[in-house]
Amino acid sequence: SAVISQKPSRDICQRGTSLTIQCQVDSQVTMMFWYRQQPGQSLTLIATANQGSEATYESGFVIDKFPISRPNLTFSTLTVSNMSPEDSSIYLCSVVLGEVEQFFGPGTRLTVL
Amino acid sequence: GQNIDQPTEMTATEGAIVQINCTYQTSGFNGLFWYQQHAGEAPTFLSYNVLDGLEEKGRFSSFLSRSKGYSYLLLKELQMKDSASYLCAALDSNYQLIWGAGTKLIIKP
């Protein structure tokens, strides 16, 4: 397994502002993903963070709202832009280790007022 | 379309055995995962099945039938700490995980 960390662990933000979430892995990984999990619900994939190229977004998620950076094989950021209360959620990064197994960071709990 | 079904909630008694079922329909199939998620925490990997049959790992076992699109997670000798949500996820032909809504398992003494 790998050690995956996220910053911040939680934040409370005002409507209309932006928050950047960092994900750091202690080993190089090819595939890294960003998920959202709203209270009491399962995981929703936002995008695949590709190293050296633009992220691949899932239906319903756009780059202007959720810009992603992946400057190297151990780090990625997700920005939640122009936030509204509907963006209140837990944001999780995950990486693929081994052949297909995904492992998750501890998550960032975001509350938008 | 792609779909994962699992029960919303189950209740079991400490020391007993519980089986959590999952059925899936995906575009292609590259394996089935089970994750455990305690409240307020990230999911943790439990098991991965790609071939038919039962995989045992301590108190937890996972079963897969590809022809039936069916899996189950079996938890034995239940402990209070096993109270959590259990997420079933299938890997489709694009190697994307399709997630179930999770089964909340409540353990009673």
Please tell me the predicted confidence (pLDDT) of residue B76. 97
CA–CA distance from A19 to each of A82, A83, A98, B93, B99 (Å)? 9, 8, 31, 34, 26
Terminal Cα distance for chain B, rounded: 40
> Which tens digit of pLDDT belongs to each residue from B56-90?
999 999 999 999 999 999 999 999 999 999 999 99
Percentage above 70 pLDDT, chain A: 99
Nearest chain B CA: its distance from A44 CA (Å): 8
Closest-CA residue of A relative to B92 is: A100
List the single residue in A with minimal CA-CA distance to B39.
A40
pLDDT of residue B1 exceeding 80: no
In the prediction, which pLDDT does B18 show? 98
Give the pLDDT score at A51: 84
Percent of chain B at pLDDT exceeding 90: 88
Q: Compute the mean pLDDT over every residue in chain A, rounded to the nearest whole number.
A: 93
Query: Which residues in A lie closer than 8 A to residue B51 (C-beta atoms)?
Result: none
Give A64 to chain B, closest Cα distance, Å: 23
Taking an 8 Å cut-off on Cβ atoms, the answer to whether B41 and A107 are in contact is yes
